[in-house]
Amino acid sequence: MEALETIVTWALLVAFGATIALAIKAILSKMHVGLSTTTAAPGVLGATAAFAVLATLLPTSAPIEVPFLFTLALALVAGLLIAWLIRSLVGANDVAGLGLAVLTAAAAMLAAILAGSPSKLVGFASVALVGVFVLGLMGFRSLPSDVARVLPLAGAAITFVGLFDWLQAKVGSPMSRMERLAQSSELESVAATVWAVILAVGGSTALFVLANLLFDRTDKKWSQFTAAAGATIGFIVFGLLDGNRAIQHLGPRDSVATNLHDLINGGFWSLLIVSIIIGSFIGYAAGYAIGVSRDDRSVPPMIGLAIGAGLGLIWGTLFAQRIPVDTSVQVLWNALTGAIFAGGLGYAIGRVDDVKTRAIIGTAGGAGIGLLLGGMLFNNYQPRLETVPLIAAPLILGAVGTGVNQLRGRNLTTGATTGALIGWLLGTFGFPKLGGGPEVETLVATGVAGGLAGLRYGAKPYLNSVGRVNLEQQSRGAIFLIPALSFIATGLVIPLMRTIVLSFKDERTVEWVGLRNYQRIFTDPTSFDYTGRLNLFGSVLFYVAAGLLILGLIGGIAASRRSGNTLGGSGTVLRTIGGFFILLGLLEYVLGRQTIDAEEQLGGNGLAIAVLVATGAAALVASFMRRGTRSAGARIDMAGAPGVVTLVGVFILSLAVFSTVRGTLFNNLWWVVTVTTLSAGFGLAVAVLADRASYENVAKSFIFMPLAISFVGAGIIWRFMYIARDERKDQTGVMNFIWVELGKISTGGTGRVAAIVVLLAILGGLAWLFQIGWATGAKNTAGSAAVVAVPFLWALYRFTVGGGMGGTGTVTDNGIIQDTTIQFLPDNQPFNNLWLMLVLIWIQTGFAMVIFSAAIKAVDTSLIEAAKIDGANDSQVFWKITVPQIVPTIGVVVTTLIVVVMKVFDIVKVMTNGNFDTQVVANEMWQRAFTELNFGLGSALAIVLFLAVVPVMTYNIRTMQKAL
């Protein structure tokens, strides 16, 4: 038996060598350089030397103990034999044959090592490839492009890897004798890192180059393309499945063949027979395909049959013996097996024109490959088939596939087989329980699946030239898309799916609880509390806001009377507002019925409904009344002051609303409204005001700077700014320091006098400005001066007779004067949220400013000049020229800000951790999931946040594609 093993092993090695030799010969002939004695000799010498070294080393690692000389002789003889074969086949001269022989022998060694230690493999592979490389360089000066680029690179890379391996082995051992610090483990970790880098860079580069080479062949060399594509798919599928198995069953494990071996349970001979049968089958199919293409259907199938049977014999024999091979090599071996078979099938399919023949080949070959895969699946993945889904799923999905292709006007068979394949996979691996099923059923499952896949590609109409070019282009796109999509899938889609699933489970994600987590979010008063909504009508802020809104509206209407220019329609706006208010009234009615008792319903609730419905109705009536008189001028013109007043009104309204309806969700919404409007507003203001001013860049840089600070960092900074010390101590927080010092100054001493003088000076200046403005008719100047003067006047009042301002101090029972501090974060709920929002506004204003600044600078100056010539002032230019042109940018900035604000987490986490009524959704999510280990509720919160962000994000991306 041992003799047989030896012979078979060497036969396989020789076959490997032959493959290499053929490939090299192909390269040589592609180079258009005939091998002459002089050019080839040094290469041959080098390769021979390399071979000699290899041969010396071999006996220690060969799978079978063979004396050195015997190995050498056998390899040389085998090489010469192959060389002679090649020469007679391809017609190269003798020297080429000799060189090839040596190389073949070297490759045979390589193959022998394939079954041995992987580490040695690297070393030898590198030496052998250096031989190839040197040979290539010495013999041929003008290399064709593809090869010239790839071969030396591959050679060099592998040489480097080999050298490194050698170095590691060499340096590692003396190191281990040295002291603890210089331990070889450190070197190993460095080595491992370098390895990983080489693998990543080299692997990606090689993949990219290979993929491009592959796609180059799509159009002109179709069968090569299908072969290579098949081989790649086979390599990947087998490698992944097998690698997965290797990972799950760490340690020595079985190969495809040994699994098949166990499966058939008949020992060595039965495996051998099965291998031969499979080999013959595939070989016949391939031969038949070639035969068809050559109009000779008798000879090639027979040759194919013979070759296939032979390969099957070798394969079966080698692996039936359970040669002790390393896991990683075996994974590779199985992957290579898959690549060879799938590649062969691909080649056959690509070669045959006749659809029927191709379908037969595809089905047969696919089934064979499927059987191989089935042999590779280990116990955990073996399904227990169930009759109903097994029959129903393929039938139903097959019918669906047919229907779809009927509608699309495509090939019906393709549709049917695609559907049936998916159905079959579902029926075999989707529905039934996986693991522990009978092996025969596994083989049926994978065999039929493979057959269907083969049929699907075989039965496809032959691609014409246009189709191939399209495929080529699509494929090239896929090179870039696939890595990106796989990153998105692993980093985004899979976690999202998992989170969605978890959100329907209980605390420890064991039991399904349906929508309970979502119900809790919208019923728990800590996250969703609308019971205080009627207090809105008792809030001063609400009436201030209402007043401002009405004022803005009146101003807008007045402005629209004066000028014919417009910004936005009025009828639609009024109708929208009217509908909104009526809806609010209805909502209030429903809520009132549910939550408030009868007496209260008649009070605030009823009043609220009445007010809301009346306002809505009034707006609707107004919108329809305007219909008749609608003309170019009959629109509300919100440009300028009316717009600003309205915006301030909206802001104050948001304060009024969000201080009456509370809870995490409303709080988050409040953040969105406030931070977004203020950041965008301030950003726009700075961008406009600083535009073309002196020191514009310096000013903008300072405003931009906070953007460089992390949210956590900003949170810590501001926490220190807000901090209050005990009232009897010096204040260390900036805010409270100013506050308390202001209190000290305003209540006495020389500081008070100085402050009054300064205030008077400022007021004097403002009065002067006002006077100039008034006199020259510059209403804006006069108005601004008057508005700015108001706080200073108030300060003057407080400093003189008003009893001081700031932390003015209180007298305790003991007669000690205490300065009052402001507890920014714990007190004044819920308005303490504004102090947190300020931090984010501080950061995000810079972002808004930069984008707006760029957009404003992109506005066509000729338009502005034209407007100015027509007599427009700065304000008009801004509102009527600039703003309409940057509307898309405003959309992008606002939506980006909304997304950022919705996700706010760090600032709240650092500054209050959600205490003091400042909770937001992201921090609540963290606390639920990680503090309380309630993953169900945490996931549900994450999903709520996700659902809120998605529409904004979608809009953002669409606008951005249009705008930028």
Partner 1 sequence: MRLSQWKTLLTLLFAFALVAAACSGDDATDTEAGSESEESSETTEASEEEAMEDDEAMEEDAMEEDGEGHSLAGTTVTVFGSESSDEEAGAMQDALDVFAEANDMTITFTGARDFSDQINAQVSGGNAPDIGIYPQPGKVADFAREGFILPVPEDVVGATAWDEAFLGFGNVDGTQYGMPNKADVKSLVWYQPAAFEAGGYAVPETFDEFVSLTGDMIAAGDTPLCVGIESGPATGWTFTDWVEDMMLRFAGGDVYDQWVNHEIPFNDPIVVEQMEAVVNLWDTPGMVFASGGSIAATPFGDNGQPLVDGDCMMHRQASFYAAFIPEGTAFADGSEDAVDVFYFPSNEGAPVLGAGTLAAAHNDRPEVWAVMEYFGSAEYADARQAAQTERKGGGLSGFLSAAQGADISLYQPLEQSFLDILANAETFRFDASDLMPADVGAGTFWTESTAAVNGDKSVAEAADAIEASWPE
User: According to CB under 8 A, which residues from 9 to 28 bind partner 1?
Assistant: 19-20, 22-27
**Min dist. Cβ of residue 29 to partner 1 (A):** 5
**Min dist. Cβ of residue 54 to partner 1 (A):** 11
Distance CA 43, CA 137 (A): 9
**Min dist. Cβ of residue 745 to partner 1 (A):** 21
- Within 8 A by CB and 6+ apart from 590, the residues are none
| 192 makes contact with partner 1 (CB under 8 A) | yes
The answer to whether the beta carbons of residues 747 and 800 sit under 8 Å apart is no
**Min dist. Cβ of residue 667 to partner 1 (A):** 14
Q: List, as one string, the DSSP characters of 760-804.
A: HHHHHHHHHHHHHHHHHT-HHHHHHHHHHHHHHHHHHHHHHTS--
Window of 143-151, 450-458, 707-715, 789-797 that interacts with partner 1 by CB under 8 A:
143-151
Q: Which of residues 320-349 bind partner 1 (CB under 8 A)?
A: 326-329, 331-332, 335-336, 339
The answer to whether the beta carbons of residues 139 and 41 sit under 8 Å apart is no
**Min dist. Cβ of residue 91 to partner 1 (A):** 13
Member of 287, 882, 926, 959 binding partner 1 (CB under 8 A): 926
- Within 8 A by CB and 6+ apart from 576, the residues are none
Window of 392-400, 515-523, 539-547, 908-916 that interacts with partner 1 by CB under 8 A:
908-916
User: For residue 491, what is the DSSP state?
Assistant: I
Window of 37-45, 206-214, 392-400, 841-849 that interacts with partner 1 by CB under 8 A:
206-214
Distance CA 918, CA 708 (A): 25
User: Residue 322 in 3-state DSSP?
Assistant: coil
Q: Which of residues 111-140 bind partner 1 (CB under 8 A)?
A: 114, 117-123, 125-126, 129
- Within 8 A by CB and 6+ apart from 284, the residues are 301, 304, 305, 308
Window of 172-180, 303-311, 691-699, 754-762 that interacts with partner 1 by CB under 8 A:
172-180
Nearer to partner 1 (CB atom), residue 252 or residue 802: 252
Looking up tokens 């669409």, which residue turns up?
958
Nearer to partner 1 (CB atom), residue 47 or residue 559: 47
| 210 makes contact with partner 1 (CB under 8 A) | yes
Distance CA 341, CA 320 (A): 19
Distance CA 623, CA 74 (A): 100
Distance CA 574, CA 70 (A): 99
Member of 34, 203, 467, 532 binding partner 1 (CB under 8 A): 203
| 314 makes contact with partner 1 (CB under 8 A) | no
Window of 49-57, 256-264, 416-424, 494-502 that interacts with partner 1 by CB under 8 A:
49-57
Member of 15, 66, 147, 557 binding partner 1 (CB under 8 A): 147
Helix H or strand E encompassing 433: none
**Min dist. Cβ of residue 474 to partner 1 (A):** 20
Member of 82, 367, 825, 892 binding partner 1 (CB under 8 A): 825
Count of residues that interact with partner 1, criterion CB under 8 A: 104
Member of 249, 725, 798, 903 binding partner 1 (CB under 8 A): 725
Nearer to partner 1 (CB atom), residue 27 or residue 786: 27
| 224 makes contact with partner 1 (CB under 8 A) | yes
| 100 makes contact with partner 1 (CB under 8 A) | no
Site mask for partner 1 (CB under 8 A), range 669-708, x = bound = ----------------------------------------
User: Residue 277 in 3-state DSSP?
Assistant: helix
The answer to whether the beta carbons of residues 49 and 106 sit under 8 Å apart is no
**Min dist. Cβ of residue 950 to partner 1 (A):** 25
| 4 makes contact with partner 1 (CB under 8 A) | no
**Min dist. Cβ of residue 150 to partner 1 (A):** 6
**Min dist. Cβ of residue 733 to partner 1 (A):** 9
Nearer to partner 1 (CB atom), residue 143 or residue 894: 143
- Within 8 A by CB and 6+ apart from 17, the residues are 78, 79, 82, 103, 104, 105, 106, 107, 108, 111
Please report, for residues 208, 214, 473, 475, 477, the alpha-carbon distance to residue 482 in angstroms, rounded to integers and kept in the order given. Answer: 12, 16, 14, 10, 9
Member of 221, 575, 752, 903 binding partner 1 (CB under 8 A): 221
Structure token pair of residue 370: 């499927």
| 172 makes contact with partner 1 (CB under 8 A) | yes
Member of 36, 37, 93, 176 binding partner 1 (CB under 8 A): 176
Please report, for residues 298, 346, 348, 358, 451, the alpha-carbon distance to residue 291 in angstroms, rounded to integers and kept in the order given. Answer: 7, 15, 10, 12, 22
Instruction: Provide the angle, in degrees to the nearest 10, between the axes of the packed helices 935-963 and 516-523.
Output: 80
Q: Which of residues 350-409 bind partner 1 (CB under 8 A)?
A: none
Residue 349 main-chain phi, psi, to 5 deg: -65, -40
The answer to whether the beta carbons of residues 935 and 929 sit under 8 Å apart is yes
**Min dist. Cβ of residue 611 to partner 1 (A):** 31
Site mask for partner 1 (CB under 8 A), range 731-770, x = bound = -----x----------------------------------
Member of 935, 937, 944, 948 binding partner 1 (CB under 8 A): 935
Q: Which of residues 797-816 bind partner 1 (CB under 8 A)?
A: 812-814
- The span from the first CA to the last CA of the chain, in angstroms, equals 75
HEC letters along 36-53: CHHHHHHHHHHHHHHHHH
User: For residue 811, what is the DSSP state?
Assistant: E
User: For residue 321, what is the DSSP state?
Assistant: T
Member of 827, 860, 865, 874 binding partner 1 (CB under 8 A): 827
Window of 230-238, 305-313, 373-381, 572-580 that interacts with partner 1 by CB under 8 A:
230-238
Member of 55, 108, 158, 416 binding partner 1 (CB under 8 A): 158
Nearer to partner 1 (CB atom), residue 675 or residue 937: 937
Member of 242, 588, 727, 819 binding partner 1 (CB under 8 A): 727
Q: List, as one string, the DSSP characters of 842-885.
A: HHHHHHHHHHHHHHHHTS-HHHHHHHHHTT--HHHHIIIIIHHH
Over its C-alpha atoms, the chain yields an Rg (Å, rounded) of 40
- The closest alpha carbon to 115, from 63, 60, 57, belongs to 63
The answer to whether the beta carbons of residues 315 and 334 sit under 8 Å apart is no
**Min dist. Cβ of residue 916 to partner 1 (A):** 6
Nearer to partner 1 (CB atom), residue 630 or residue 728: 728
Distance CA 622, CA 470 (A): 59
Member of 4, 793, 858, 933 binding partner 1 (CB under 8 A): 933
**Min dist. Cβ of residue 596 to partner 1 (A):** 20
Q: State the amino acid at position 870 in one-letter form.
A: D
Nearer to partner 1 (CB atom), residue 560 or residue 659: 659
Member of 105, 112, 214, 452 binding partner 1 (CB under 8 A): 214
| 501 makes contact with partner 1 (CB under 8 A) | no
**Min dist. Cβ of residue 829 to partner 1 (A):** 6
